[in-house]
Amino acid sequence: MEPIKIALTKGRTEQQVRPLLEASGIDCQGLRNKGRKLIFDDDPRYEFILVKAPDVLTYLNNGTVQVGIVGSDILDEQVNFQYAMLNLSVGKCRFVLASTADFDPQQQRRKIIATKYPNITKRYFDGIGEDVEIIKIEGSVELAPLTGLADAIVDIVETGNTLRENHLKVYARLQPVNTKLVVNRLALRQYRSQIKTLITNLQAADQKAA
């Protein structure tokens, strides 16, 4: 049988999900000592590729992989055609609107908001009937209100350490984020029983760990 190809988000997600994969009986020897390698096929049933979060959807949409493991932030940000089949209890965090202590949410001037997530940001401000200017940033978003690039940011908070250490405050709590397993629609039909096995085992491991 051909292995199922799985795009796994590099970094935090990969580190949090690997113990669940192992607990569900998947050989992750290579992922444990990965060095600079990007493809792992220690377990003959699966081939893992390590990719940046937004690229998970590119590989999935293209059909290059059958399964993706990615944060719901990425799914919420992009219009996507995958089925989210499983919610994992790892990677739990939340979108917030944050800024410096002197930020005035009622300010008269049109706000400038910096974010890695322009669609999520636009949806939030549309929802409260406010027109804002959005500046797309690639990382270290917390710098934007500190340097004067923007009035505030929309970003993800996990422990709150980054906000605290940069003296930023939360002004609004937006939607929560968690890690999800998503499946390509066509693959769901072609690899039905293999994908079902993967999901059942992973779900059991996740429930035990949670």
Choice from 14, 47, 155, 206 touching ligand PRP (CB under 6 A): 155
- Phi, psi values for residue 73, rounded to 5°: -60, -40
Instruction: Tell me the window of 48-56, 61-69, 77-85, 137-145 that interacts with ligand PRP (CB under 6 A).
Output: 137-145
Contact of 131 with 111, CB cutoff 8 Å = no
Tell me the two tokens of residue 30: 């290579």
Asked if 160 touches ligand PRP (CB under 6 A), the answer is yes
Angular region, 86: left φ>0, alpha ψ -120 to 50, beta rest: beta
Residues that bind ligand PRP (rule: CB under 6 A) add up to a total of 12
Angular region, 193: left φ>0, alpha ψ -120 to 50, beta rest: alpha
Asked if 140 touches ligand PRP (CB under 6 A), the answer is yes
Nearer to ligand PRP, 26 or 71 (CB): 71
Choice from 33, 159, 193, 207 touching ligand PRP (CB under 6 A): 159
What residues does 133 pair with on adjacent strands? Answer: 112
Asked if 158 touches ligand PRP (CB under 6 A), the answer is yes
CA nearest 54: which of 90, 78, 31? 78
User: Please, what is the minimum distance in Å from the beta carbon of residue 51 to ligand PRP?
Assistant: 15
Contact of 178 with 198, CB cutoff 8 Å = no
Asked if 187 touches ligand PRP (CB under 6 A), the answer is no
Instruction: Tell me the window of 42-50, 75-83, 99-107, 150-158 that interacts with ligand PRP (CB under 6 A).
Output: 150-158
**Residue numbers at the binding site for ligand PRP (CB under 6 A):** 139-142, 155-162
